[in-house]
Amino acid sequence: MLQILPRKKGLSPSSVVPQEAVEYINSYITNHSCKKLNVDISFMNILDACYVSTICSTKHYIKYPDGKINWKISSDMVKEFNKDLELGNASYEI
């Protein structure tokens, strides 16, 4: 039997171009109240996901130092790559 699980509400950029995804997410952070934010970038390759999550986590941290941004990613390698750059506001789930 097929079970449909509820999707978490969150943000998902429509572009696979990293610069466009960063602009989209940063614009959302700037224009909305989003102390807690879920972002799905699981469709991106590892390097692009590392870039997007690092830049956008920094933007989110500047606006909400005690906020949280949850990244949905496709590989644990993104988390490993970003662990030394961690601001403390990002968490990753596969």
Q: In what order do the strands lie in the sheet with 90-93?
A: 36-40, 68-72, 90-93
Question: How do residues 43-87 score in pLDDT, each as one tens digit?
Answer: 999 999 999 999 999 999 999 999 999 999 999 999 999 888 877
Q: Assess contact for 62 and 71: CB atoms under 8 A.
A: no
pLDDT at 86: 78
Whole-number Å distance between alpha carbons of 1 and 16: 33
pLDDT at 87: 78
The mean pLDDT value for 22-27 works out to 97
1 compared with 31, residue with greater pLDDT: 31
Q: Assess contact for 34 and 7: CB atoms under 8 A.
A: no
- Residue 6 reports pLDDT greater than 90: no
